[in-house]
Amino acid sequence: MIPANLPVSTIASARQQVDDSTDPIKTRLEIIMSIERTPLHQDPVVIVSAARTPMGGFQGDLQSLSATELGSIAIRAAVERAGIESADVQHVLFGCVLPAGLGQAPARQAALGAGLRNATLCSTVNKMCGSGMQTAIMAHDLLMADSTAVVVAGGMESMSNAPYLLDRARNGYRMGHGKVLDHMFLDGLEDAYEPGRLMGTFAEDCAGSNGFSREAQDAFALASLARAQEAIADGHFDAEIVPVQVTVGKESRQIIHDEQPPKARPDKIPTLKPAFREGGTVTAANSSSISDGAAALLLMRQSEAQRRGLRPLAVFYAHAAFADQPGLFPTAPIGAIQRLLSKTGWALDDVDLFEINEAFAVVPLVAMSELGLAHEKVNVNGGACALGHPIGASGARIIVTLLAALQRRQLKRGVAAICIGGGEATAVAIEIID
């Protein structure tokens, strides 16, 4: 079987050899064996630039901006950092989980708001928490198929601006009480298969079945916060963040840092009540916080970058996905990472850093336990427990953060993985280009 992501030129050359051969059957066998030994990354997809906004708290620094406005800021920054013209971008793929009230085609709005041309093709992607990562995966596959040349992928979310919904209002309530539904809860934070059940209750189940105590989860959350606070103080996020200008009343302010870590009170974390179950172990602190933000990546094939005289940041090496029962989403990143390593041929020790989204502290905890990962390699600048989790953006945000962390530490290989409501997870492998 011919590998799916070989360069078109390799396959065309092989077909020509078959046509020219006097013994087509023998030649086919020889060529198939040759192709199977051909490196799959002769002309790989590369990440040329990356950018993200600061992560804003719920009803916090970024609440005056819509998701599409945040998306525009990230897209514009990614294009500028790549050193190309906005007219060069052919596709924009952008994640958004809470699009109600934004108007038609949120990704299209974000792209045009970033100054991209009207001819740019745009798609909005909703794969829950994995939306931002899924756009990068789709961009990779479009590029490997030679269906496009320059793509911006990423995600955006303003959880602060998610509207309330009036169910049945179109037909009229006629009699009795109506109900106002929270778009953020209904379409973002509640399970679709057990209506009304919050994602945090599944984190409780995971913690209980895998033996993670309240103390272990709090310790992880405290470490995440300490790492994030240190990263902010030392400027470790500066390379990835694009400043955001906001207006509060009559005052104009520039937001340059993630909002929540500096405000957090570590001493309060052990005192918080369980958030999802009486007597439980999952709290607001050892869960990700509701937040706003956007992140973007600009991708193309390596040959395209060379043609343009650009110096890419990293190779988008491979991607993988995994699915299980909806309630088992906290453990799904384990399967995604295992499949990813199988595709790359990397051993765990070959990976320098991991970003595993902290939807809940138990998600990276169970992954580290099952895979044998050292905490020193995981979420080295903190994660969503400290920074926040704008659900449509986080999958892209952790790739942006992973890129910057690898570069800063002069390391080579990284893996980013994210759990997804509904029982899924995705993972990507990147390799820094020297």
Burial annotation 343-358 (CB, 10 A radius, 16+ → b, else e): ebebeeeebbbbbbbb
Structure tokens at 110: 């974000």
Structure tokens at 113: 């708001």
Q: Return d(Cα 305, Cα 323) in angstroms, integer.
A: 34
CA trace torsion 286, 257, 392, 107 (10° rounding): 180
Is 236 one of the annotated active-site residues of the chain? no
User: Which phi and psi angles does 341 have, rounded to 5°?
Assistant: -65, -35
Query: Rg of the chain's alpha carbons, rounded to an integer?
Result: 22
Q: Which residue is listed with tokens 């409501």?
A: 421
Structure tokens at 423: 């029982």
Catalytic: which of 96, 122, 129, 206?
129
Catalytic: which of 96, 122, 385, 419?
419
Structure tokens at 178: 């109506």
Q: Return d(Cα 307, Cα 234) in angstroms, integer.
A: 36
User: Which phi and psi angles does 285 have, rounded to 5°?
Assistant: -80, -40
Largest Cα–Cα distance in the chain? 83
Q: Return d(Cα 202, Cα 223) in angstroms, integer.
A: 23
DSSP of 97-141: S--TTS-S-HHHHHHHHTT--TT-EEEEE-BTBTHHHHHHHHHHH
Structure tokens at 275: 């958030």
User: Which helix (H) or strand (E) is 82 found in, with range?
Assistant: helix 67-82
Give the residue ranges of DSSP H helices in 211-331: 214-233, 260-263, 302-308
Other CB atoms closer than 10 Å to residue 126's CB: what's the count?
17
Q: Return d(Cα 43, Cα 23) in angstroms, integer.
A: 30
Q: Return d(Cα 65, Cα 61) in angstroms, integer.
A: 9
Is 419 one of the annotated active-site residues of the chain? yes
First to last CA, the chain: 33
Name the residues annotated as catalytic.
Answer: 129, 389, 419
